[in-house]
């Protein structure tokens, strides 16, 4: 007997809910469409499946018999769909290279969302400076990197995507350094400057900016952590140069205004120009 499976599906929803309106709601169709499907099935089977009244719907003996066979069939179909869905769920590993600052102040929200959406994917983050991250990418240790640009180690032909612009700012403890008004870069050199170590894009960038104005930048402290630079600035050891996106709530510190703000830099996602991305990496990059 050639009967459309959809008719049995409609019958199943009516028989298990004993309500034409509830079946229509669950199937996202009109109640009249449900009623027509049941009538068509009854006609093809030459059996009355339901006793209908204004108050309730009751299965006939023929309907009871049919439900005993349709119910396990529908359950098996549902289990099959769930099994296929679980087999196609995203798994594998996501490998990212990024600095601690970029991870903490930029990537963390994206990682939280990705982990919520794809809990079966293992996330591996390798921490390094933006310059060191290029080595990770070239050695195949990560799927992609998120780093500062400009970056002297980046090949100009390597695919990259800008995900954020930012500006480097100088943060100071006002009681330790009561600087009033906007200042020139030359005036900043009167104060102890706290900045990242020489093997960083920030150090390269700042030395280039100062040198372009004929100034020699001699920092008082050079460290590998922007957070530690901020801590030292809080206790008045100097003026820290850090990216603006990590300075949202810094009650103890104020930004030293420059008469000519530093040019903006970029956060970029860089992937290998030769190696294909994993499915997990492709899905993560869709967030951007």
Q: For residue 271, what are the β-bridge partners?
A: 144
Residue 85: predicted pLDDT: 57
| Cα–Cα distance, 195 to 191 (Å, whole number) | 13
Which residues in 121-147 are b (16+ Cβ under 10 Å) and which e? Answer: beeeeeebbbbbbbebbeeeebbbbbb
Structure tokens at 26: 């669950």
| Residues in contact with 183: Cβ distance below 8 Å, sequence separation at least 6, in sequence order | 256, 257, 258, 259
* Eight-state DSSP code of residue 181: S
**What is the chain's pLDDT, residue by residue, as a tens digit (288 residues)?**
678 889 999 999 999 999 999 999 888 889 999 999 999 999 999 999 999 887 789 999 999 999 999 999 988 888 777 666 555 567 889 999 999 999 999 999 999 999 999 999 999 999 999 999 999 999 899 999 999 999 999 988 888 999 999 999 999 999 999 999 999 999 999 999 999 999 899 999 999 999 999 999 999 999 999 999 999 999 999 999 999 999 877 678 999 999 999 999 999 999 987 888 889 999 999 999
Asked if 194 contacts 233 with a C-beta cutoff of 8 angstroms, the reply is yes
Structure tokens at 283: 């899905």
Structure tokens at 163: 């995900």
The DSSP bridge pattern shows strands 160-166 and 122-127 to be: unpaired
Residue 191: predicted pLDDT: 97
pTM: 0.67
Q: Does an H or E element contain 67, and which? A: helix 61-87
| Cα–Cα distance, 242 to 77 (Å, whole number) | 58
Residue 80: predicted pLDDT: 78
């Amino acid at each position: 007997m050639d009967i459309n499976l959809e008719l049995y599906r409609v019958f199943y929803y009516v028989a298990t809910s004993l309500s034409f309106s509830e079946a229509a709601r669950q199937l996202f169709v009109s109640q009249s469409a449900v009623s027509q499907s049941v009538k068509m099935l009854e006609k093809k089977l030459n059996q009355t499946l339901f006793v209908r009244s204004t108050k309730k719907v009751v299965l006939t003996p023929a309907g009871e018999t049919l439900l005993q066979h349709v119910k396990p069939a529908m359950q098996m179909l549902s289990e099959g769909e769930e099994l296929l869905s679980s087999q196609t769920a995203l798994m594998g590993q996501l490998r990212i290279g990024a600095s601690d600052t970029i991870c903490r102040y930029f990537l963390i929200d994206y990682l939280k969302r990705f982990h919520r959406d794809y809990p079966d994917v293992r996330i591996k983050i390798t921490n390094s400076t933006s310059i060191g991250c290029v080595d990770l990418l070239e050695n195949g240790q990560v799927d992609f990197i998120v780093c500062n640009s400009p970056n002297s180690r980046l090949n100009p032909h390597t695919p990259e995507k800008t995900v954020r612009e930012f500006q480097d700012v100088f943060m100071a403890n006002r009681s330790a350094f009561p600087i009033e008004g906007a200042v020139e870069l030359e005036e900043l050199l009167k104060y102890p400057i706290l900045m990242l170590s020489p093997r960083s894009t920030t150090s390269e960038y700042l030395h280039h900016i100062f040198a372009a104005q004929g100034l020699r930048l001699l920092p008082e402290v050079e460290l590998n952590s922007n957070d530690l630079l901020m801590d030292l600035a809080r206790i008045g050891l100097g003026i820290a140069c850090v990216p603006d996106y990590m300075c949202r709530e810094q009650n103890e510190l104020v930004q030293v205004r420059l008469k000519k703000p530093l040019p903006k830099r970029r956060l970029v996602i860089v992937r290998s120009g030769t190696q294909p991305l994993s499915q997990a990496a492709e899905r993560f990059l869709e967030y951007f």
